[in-house]
Amino acid sequence: MWALGAVGGARGAALAAAAVTAVALAVLAWRRARPVREVLFFPSRPCCIEALLAEAAQPGAPARPCPCPLPSGDTALSRLVRRLLSARRSLDLCLFCFSCPQLARAVQLLHRRGVRVRLVTDAQYMGLHGSQIGRLRHAGIQVRHDQHSGYMHHKFAIVDRRMLITGSLNWTTQAIQSNRENVLVVEDAEYVKAFQDEFERIWEEYNPTNYSFFLKGNK
Amino acid sequence: MWALGAVGGARGAALAAAAVTAVALAVLAWRRARPVREVLFFPSRPCCIEALLAEAAQPGAPARPCPCPLPSGDTALSRLVRRLLSARRSLDLCLFCFSCPQLARAVQLLHRRGVRVRLVTDAQYMGLHGSQIGRLRHAGIQVRHDQHSGYMHHKFAIVDRRMLITGSLNWTTQAIQSNRENVLVVEDAEYVKAFQDEFERIWEEYNPTNYSFFLKGNK
């Protein structure tokens, strides 16, 4: 009786475990299937993103505590970084101004991980002090820029051709820590397609074969 | 027989007309119920918006041709203006930079029409040459601004607390006609609520009773 009870109990426990697993998988699938809809407002509290970068570089590796005094809590910046680091295949960036070293490290990490990164930026702002464009080019990331008098003023990113990250935020530490800014994170095929098409148009238009170089004295 | 046929024909025609009307009303209701989802890309071709403003000022009045040489076709700017002019009750504006006279005229027109317009802007940019803020204040529109060192860098509008207009576009003629810019028009309760809450937070924080004035020489 005891033995039977034990067998019945074991069977029951196995059934319960299977049920719990099934429910957990269903919840996971539902959460995965639910498209991302997020709004981030800035300024963001300064935060340490070392743990996020380390986890993205070596998933599952034991975390080493960062000696910096910044907290590593949940902030608008850490959420933005998480969304970027979710890229597996491609990251298309269309950024007026990119001088935030933390975001540049995240982009470089993705590039090293084999994600195809393409970056379009503004010619007048890419050479300013603190710009990360040179560093990213040096790391081997493809960068193209405009040749117009108007600004390439977009501030959007597309992750894996499925998630759009767009708003008022230039990717600068000043904007992240001091300005009132917004960023929408949208996993919506219609919006993503519109921005992806715009990216491809600009990427082709800014192809270096179309650049013209003016020397001083020439007209 | 002929008389009967004529009566039957008239009844049939009436039924057909009723059916057509019902279908037309159903289509109209469906189109109205369908939330707006639009992406506008700039630069926009320069265009004349006089006809749009005239129609909004006096709906149904006979259109007077504008003597300006600009076309009045369908452009990103004309679409943006149409969305703004659809306001019936309220227009909440949160704009880093507002120097476009055409958009200022649209906002003034709404104010005159009795729409409650509130405007939040950036203290450092509102005084620049060409800014429309003084003109709008002079017209009686409520304006509040920040007192921070960081920028109030948002560029969004909320129409009737139901339609969000947001993106990279500052409301300047340079941005509209020369820059690469994007504007999302979203009629989605979740996104609108997030931005409306942000607007109310800022509106309260920038209440003039909280302003502090520093005189030269004081510390």
Give me the interface pTM, i.e. the ipTM: 0.83
- Strands B90-95, B37-42: pairing is unpaired
For residue A192, give every residue at least 6 positions away whose Cβ sits within 8 Å of its Cβ, in sequence order, or none. A158, A161, A162, A163, A164, A186
Res. A155: pLDDT tops 70: yes
> Which listed residue (A74, A148, A153, A197) is catalytic?
A153
The full length of chain A comes to 219
- Strands B142-145, B116-121: pairing is parallel
Where b means 16+ CB within 10 Å and e means fewer, B161-180 reads ebbbbbbbbbbbebbbbbbb
For residue B154, the distance in angstroms to the closest alpha carbon of chain A comes to: 5
Residue of A nearest to B185 (CA): A191
> Which listed residue (B160, B188, B193, B197) is catalytic?
B160
pLDDT of residue B72: 85
CB pair distance less than 8 Å for A151 and B180? yes
| Calpha distance A202→A156 (Å, rounded) | 13
> Which chain B residues are closer than 8 Å to A192 by Cβ?
none
pLDDT of residue A32: 63
For residue A179, the distance in angstroms to the closest alpha carbon of chain B comes to: 5
For residue B83, the distance in angstroms to the closest alpha carbon of chain A comes to: 18
Q: Among A149, A178, A191, whose Cβ lies nearest the Cβ of B184? A: A191
Mean pLDDT of A3-23: 71
CB pair distance less than 8 Å for A180 and B153? yes
Q: Among A39, A154, A177, whose Cβ lies nearest the Cβ of B180? A: A154
> Which listed residue (B111, B145, B154, B155) is catalytic?
B155
Confidence of residue A213 (pLDDT cuts 50, 70, 90): low
For residue A207, give every residue at least 6 positions away whose Cβ sits within 8 Å of its Cβ, in sequence order, or none. A144
pLDDT of residue B8: 58
Averaging pLDDT over each range in A3-17, A51-65, B193-207, which range is the top one?
B193-207
pTM greater than 0.90: no
| Calpha distance A215→B112 (Å, rounded) | 53
- B153 labelled catalytic: yes
- A154 labelled catalytic: no
CB pair distance less than 8 Å for A179 and B39? no
Count A/B contacts: CB-CB distance under 8 Å.
Answer: 93
pLDDT of residue B217: 45
pLDDT of residue B32: 63
Where b means 16+ CB within 10 Å and e means fewer, A181-219 reads bbbbbbbbeebbebbbebbeebbeebeeeeeeeeeeeee
CB pair distance less than 8 Å for A152 and B37? no
For residue A57, the distance in angstroms to the closest alpha carbon of chain B comes to: 32
Give me the tens of pLDDT residue by residue for chain B, a chain 219 residues long.
Answer: 344 444 557 787 888 888 888 887 877 776 667 899 999 999 999 899 999 999 999 998 887 888 899 988 899 999 999 999 999 999 999 999 999 999 999 999 999 999 999 999 999 899 888 999 999 999 999 999 998 789 999 999 999 999 999 999 999 999 999 999 999 999 999 999 999 999 999 999 999 888 776 544 444
